[in-house]
Chain A
Amino acid sequence: MGLLPPYYLWLPRKIKKILLYRFLFATLLCSWLDYQMLTIFVSVNLFELRRPLDSLTEILGWTLFSVYSSVLLILIRLSTMGFGLVLCHIHYVTPRCFRYNLLRISYEFPIRFWLISSILSTTIASSWLYASFVDLNNGNYLLGGSWYYLMTFGCFCGISYYHKSHERSLRRFPLPIVHLNMMECLLQIWCHHFKSSAKAAFVPTILFALIYWPTMGLLDTTELGGVSTGCFVIITQPQRLFQAWLLATLILAKLHIVRELYGLIMQRPLSLICDLRDLHEYIDISLFNLIWERFQYFICIMRMKPMPINAQRYNLSLPIAMALDTAEIYGFQLLAARDFYAAMSGSLCNKLFEKQFGQRNRYWNEVRDVIMGMLDRFLARMESCLEPAPRIKVSHLLKNKNPKKPGIRSLVKPTPPPRRLCATCRCFPSCQPPQKTWCFCNLRIYLYDRIQSCRNALWDILPVVPQYYSFLYELDPLANLNHELRCGEPLVWILQGLVTMCVRYLKEDKFYYIQNDLERIVVYLLKVEEKLIAAKEMQVRGKLCSSHDHFMMAINRCIYKILFTFGPHLDLIIDDYKLRDTFRRRMELLP
């Protein structure tokens, strides 16, 4: 338990199980992928058309029924699992606020370390396994054989993958635009990455062979003739190049597919339901429960009876409020928010409007309380970020705001650098230097001159240091604001879902459950918009993150939709006359 991150431990049991089962399923798919890769490599290298049955038996013997392969495959599976764990951690962990870059780098260092180690261990184990099948038939051991070549090339591929895909920033899995059929997605991912990896592996294979074989030839013979032997190997044994290309294709494809696969499975749609969260909070589901629930469901269908309500809870369905109230596990909350938005335009919204005993709709109340709570917290945090910022004076801006693009003149004339005095004559450089007659008496001056020029040269290099220093320690004035915006990003989808629900209310909510809360929702929308506009004004201090743009576009859409839909019914919905006026003024601004 100590190894698990705290955000996972705090989750309700049901969500924990959902994440666990999804992770295990993704790992299972990855291990199946290992077999596919191995089959491709081995059949391309070892299958002989002249004796198909015999070679097939041999291949099966070496792969499926061999202890050696099984052990290595377990190693590969473990390292892939580690890679998946790191990717999931990056996805689910809550964003942090870093006031300067060094803090971010030091925070990311252990994650990056585990990431690169898992990538390298996967590639090393895979290359080891594949390389051991290369020289089985007609082994050619010239210049150390293919084993070392493929091993080093495999590692090189792993490093280049890390460099290309994870070097810049640790990215979360992208949110799915729509959920497509899983099998179709898997097939698409498989085909797409094999194609792109096959293309991407081509140039590195040639470059690596051009470097590796001549170097090996040189090391082998310790004379220049070895280089030509190396080149000779490249020309006369193209199968080595082909094997390396195949290995690089498989390794790159595997690393890419594993990431996509974990992203796909962990972000499958959540089955959201309208139920009270208390009833699901402490339910601990297991595989046995799930199977039993399916069995009961089947029996009920056969008898044409409705399923007992208690039995319905022993599956992976989640109440909307429970799924949305997961601020501690950011990636999951984003998915829940997105699914909430999707569900609100589907049949789940109708269920939320269904008649319940008594006057209150408990499901809606629970969802509303969770969303309003989130909005309150977001607004309060935004308030605290926006408040302490003092207004920047225009004169200050004029002084400090240097144009970033080359070719644009600064608004203020730059102050000229202090003119340095010439070392030899202690006068301005424009004056004539004294005639250089070298003798013992001016040796001191000569030496002094040399030292001075060295110092100047050093001084010219030195600006790199402040650059690095400023990169690492420069304070980001909008760090807090950006952090809060990023933390609030699930609200982008939640608000859109809420507005979709409000718009549907006009036609479908026969029991007026939402009508009482409509005014509050509108007020919240206006408040969020106000805070976002205030945040935009802070842009002069630094760069706002992309979350602000997402927020701004979503809130504009929401307000437009609300104003357009409820404009004709203003007097019925809003009691506050001030708000009504604001509403009317906003309606005039509509395009």
Chain B
Amino acid sequence: MERTYEFPEANQPYNHNHQPRCDVFERIQTEQTLNLLSNLAHEYWKWFLQKLAQLKSLCFWPRCNIGLTLAGDPQLLERISQARGWKTAAIRYIEFHPTTSLMALLNNQDEVLIYDKRSECPIKLQSVKQRDTTCAAFRPWSHSCELAVGCAAGICLWQDTRRLNVKLNIRHMTGTHHLQVLEDAAHQYVTSMQWNEDGTILITAALGSSHIVLWEPDSQQKIHLIPNPESSSSFSLLRYSPDFQVLFCASCDAGASLCQLNRSEWRSKKVLMQHRIQTAVWTPCGSFLLLVTDGSTRIYSCTNNGEATVFLFPQPLWRVELVMDLQEVTTCAGQQRYCGEPQTFAMDPLGIYMATIFKAQSFVLLWLLDNSRPGAVRLLPLEFIFCNVDGDQYPTCIAFGVFSSQARWLVICWNTGHIQRYVITAKCFKEAQLIHNVK
């Protein structure tokens, strides 16, 4: 604020100046007082706003607001979803069964298509309750090929009744699959889900709540877990480490928590990063988490610092390191392209390959994952995969799956609904190096 004071001229007689000087002095004093008061009021107002924010955060403290609905805005799904253009993409999500050749696709008509190697025609599953589907997960070791689908209402758990050996009742035979809906107040617009290794517990995160829910569908039980008690934002991404000892929970706003769990006790600890995490994936050896923050082109690796384990009660220390920048990528064959911000990663079940789709590119980048050096992971760009049919197409989602003992497939879904399969045969890193002629 500019302050301009008019001082009396020096050649003016003193007597004449006496009265105005007093006036000026008083004016200055008054202005200073006013300034002081306004500053005080401003400070007080700031303090009041701060207290108000504190009170608000106390009221919306995740521990207190169990069951309180956050803004379950489906528009947000478009921003946080792992699928590129979630709303318009013909296929929103691909999921492979962990032990069989089943593949499930979620399309934008809120249907689930289950493909089996044995039959050409997919099984179509749809329900009135199944709206705004986002993710799906096959239940491991389930005899009846159970599939959990995350949607606006909660979780739709589909069971194949043909394998259930149940007494078939004509009145209840509505189809080949039986639907069970898992619902919880405020747990709407499920964003991510994971089964534990035995398939006894399903973990889900949703837009409507700042906690994650652990479901035990067999005994119809559930509990709430708060991965980050300080923040009231919901979670966009859940990723179990391959040994099921750590759960990575990325927040919709900023940062992520890593929960230590050994099935008997769960502890939520450690917040990573200051920005929202766009995507993350664990390497199958379980020691690295590769992640990318929103708006960035850099891939970071997050790893547990092994030195901490020499202590009696080791506190896991997570070390974040830059792996590479995706601004300009040159493949091993010498092809160079601008890639930009990645949308999502997919990891090969054997941990040899990795694939990435980007927010603004029309190709898929295939990597070779080199973790032969202890304590570090290296990504070797192999190939840019383009759509094998004509037209202006971009990839929406990708996944790796095992189709036979000999081959694995990288399945790419394009925005028009075209599904492309890329066959992979390498069984180990050395073999892959030979195939792709990489040193």
Contact = CB atoms under 8 A, between A and B. Distances in A.
A346 B143 contact: no
B432 interface: no
Contacts of A346: 262-264
Interface in A51-88: none
Contacts of B178: none
Contacts of B266: 178-181
B225 A180 contact: yes
Nearest to A560: B141
B69 interface: no
A184 B63 contact: yes
Contacts of B145: 591
A545 interface: no
Interface in B190-237: 197-201, 214, 216, 218-219, 221-226, 229
A561 B225 CA distance: 28
B22 interface: no
B264 A591 contact: no
Contacts of B142: 556-557, 560
A423 interface: no
Interface string A553-591: 110110011001000000000000000000000000011
B99 interface: yes
B143 A345 contact: no
Interface string B154-192: 000000100101010001000000000000000000000
Interface in A469-517: 496, 500
Contact of A550 (B141, B214, B219, B265): B219
Contacts of A408: 171
A177 B214 contact: yes
Summarize A's interface: helix, strand, loop or mixed: helix
B267 A181 contact: yes
Interface residues of A, number: 39
Given A180-B225, A269-B264, A591-B143, A192 B198 contact: no
Nearest to B216: A177
13 contacts: A177-B201, A177-B214, A178-B261, A179-B265, A184-B63, A188-B63, A191-B66, A301-B312, A342-B262, A345-B262, A408-B171, A496-B198, A564-B99
Nearest to B263: A342
Contact of B67 (A192, A539, A557): A192
Contacts of A553: 218
**In the A-B complex, the 5 residue pairs with the closest CB atoms:** A556-B143, A342-B264, A342-B263, A557-B141, A191-B64
Interface in A375-393: none
Interface band, chain B: 35 or more
Interface string B49-67: 0000000000000011111
Given A184-B63, A191-B65, 17 more contacts: A178-B265, A179-B266, A180-B223, A180-B266, A181-B265, A269-B265, A345-B198, A347-B262, A539-B167, A550-B219, A553-B218, A556-B143, A557-B142, A560-B142, A561-B198, A591-B160, A591-B163
Interface in A536-553: 536, 539, 549-550, 553
B100 interface: yes
Contacts of A561: 141, 198
* Interface secondary structure of B, over-half rule: loop
A557 B199 contact: yes
B214 A178 contact: yes
Given A177-B214, A556-B143, A557-B199, A191 B63 contact: yes
Contacts of A500: 198
A561 B198 CA distance: 9
Contacts of A174: 219, 221
Contacts of A178: 201, 214, 223, 225, 261, 263-266
A213 B45 CA distance: 48
B100 A345 contact: no
A412 B261 CA distance: 58
Nearest to A192: B66
A175 interface: yes
Contact of B263 (A345, A405, A539, A554): A345
B143 A557 contact: yes
Interface of A: 174-181, 184, 187-188, 191-192, 195, 269, 301, 339, 342-343, 345-347, 405, 408, 496, 500, 536, 539, 549-550, 553-554, 556-557, 560-561, 564, 590-591
Nearest to B98: A564
A187 B211 CA distance: 14
A557 B219 contact: no
A496 B218 CA distance: 14
Contacts of B219: 174-175, 550
Given A557-B141, A564-B99, A177 B223 contact: yes
A527 to B, nearest CB: 18
B132 to A, nearest CB: 27
A188 to B, nearest CB: 6
Nearest to A550: B218
A536 B167 CA distance: 9
A502 B358 CA distance: 43
Nearest to A403: B171
B198 A177 contact: no
Contacts of A269: 264-265
A556 B99 CA distance: 15
A192 B211 CA distance: 14
A346 B197 CA distance: 12
Contacts of A179: 264-266
A557 B265 CA distance: 23
A347 to B, nearest CB: 7
Contacts of B223: 176-178, 180
Contacts of B265: 178-181, 269
A347 B226 CA distance: 25
A269 B263 CA distance: 11
A188 B66 contact: yes
Contacts of B222: 177
B223 to A, nearest CB: 5
A553 B142 CA distance: 8
Most buried by B among A343, A550, A561: A561
A102 B191 CA distance: 50
B64 A345 contact: no
Interface string B124-151: 0000000000000000011111000000
Contacts of B165: 536
Nearest to B226: A184
A177 B203 CA distance: 11
Contacts of B261: 178
A445 B167 CA distance: 58
A251 to B, nearest CB: 21
Contacts of B144: 556, 591
A557 B141 CA distance: 5
Nearest to B145: A591
Interface string B226-263: 10010000000000000010000000000000000111
A344 to B, nearest CB: 9
B263 A188 contact: no
B197 A345 contact: yes
Nearest to A562: B141
A178 to B, nearest CB: 5
A549 B264 contact: no
A349 B65 CA distance: 38
